[in-house]
Amino acid sequence: MRKGEITRRGIIRKAAPIFNQKGYEGAALSELMEATGLEKGGIYRHFQSKQQLAAEAFDYAWATAVSTRLEGTEQIANAVDRLKQIVWNFRDRREGLVPGGCPLLNTAIDTDDGNPVLRGKARRALARWIERLEAIVAEGQEKGEIEADVDAREVAMLIVSGLEGGLMMSRLQKKDEAIKLACRHLEEYLETKVRAAASEATKRGKNS
């Protein structure tokens, strides 16, 4: 990797927690300079604008969040079990994330009434995240693990909104109660409304 590219990536990595914690407006140049150890010119040699830096910081924070949430799930054969592990990862694996909470939730609220570039990033990230979960549901339906009559997109959206709502409350309360509760509720939903009854029967059949 070229030296310029190394510096560039370092700036993104160090700027990401500031944007994720303070929001776009709240992220002061002085803090970005302190975190990166660079002068203004040193930062903006690599980025056209604050908005471009913020957009790349979002991409970095979001990519980290997605890979953390999917960690160890791809090898889980059953689709419902895979979705449950994603829910648990959301609740439990918050150490590897960029500090400041879910980048999607933060950027959604932060850019709600302005900042179209960042807003577009967040909207596309949400769309892809929903599609990803939806694909797991669809795969589970093809394999008979998930009820044929559930709507894959609805399942995906309920998982995302349930988790984000619980996380928002937990962050405000500085307690895990809400996110734990949201996860328990989603688990029950996945077990009772999403998992195919036949799949359970098949499993029992195989084990007996």
Chain residues that interact with a second copy, rule: CB under 8 A: 21-23, 25-26, 100-101, 104-106, 108-110, 112-114, 119, 122-123, 126-127, 154, 157-158, 160-166, 168-169, 171-173, 177-178, 181-182, 185, 189
Q: How far apart are CA 86 and CA 73, in angstroms?
A: 7
Least separation, in Å, of the C-beta of 144 and a second copy? 24
Least separation, in Å, of the C-beta of 124 and a second copy? 10
- Kindly report the backbone phi and psi dihedral angles of residue 36, in degrees, each rounded to the nearest multiple of 5, phi listed first: -90, -15
Which residue, among 108, 116, 3, 99, has the nearest Cα to 60 in the 3D structure? 99
Q: How far apart are CA 48 and CA 183, in angstroms?
A: 41
Least separation, in Å, of the C-beta of 170 and a second copy? 9
Give the residues across from 146 on adjacent strands: 195
- When the beta carbons of 5 and 131 are compared against a second copy, the nearer one is 131
- When the beta carbons of 6 and 127 are compared against a second copy, the nearer one is 127
- Residue 144 has which token pair? 């008979």
Which residue, among 80, 48, 116, has the nearest Cα to 199 in the 3D structure? 80
Q: How far apart are CA 36 and CA 173, in angstroms?
A: 31
- When the beta carbons of 21 and 51 are compared against a second copy, the nearer one is 21
- When the beta carbons of 8 and 57 are compared against a second copy, the nearer one is 57
Cβ within 8 Å of residue 80, ≥6 positions away: 140, 145, 146, 190, 191, 194, 195, 199
- Residue 155 has which token pair? 């399942």
Least separation, in Å, of the C-beta of 5 and a second copy? 30
Least separation, in Å, of the C-beta of 120 and a second copy? 10
Least separation, in Å, of the C-beta of 184 and a second copy? 9
- When the beta carbons of 16 and 46 are compared against a second copy, the nearer one is 16
- When the beta carbons of 9 and 153 are compared against a second copy, the nearer one is 153
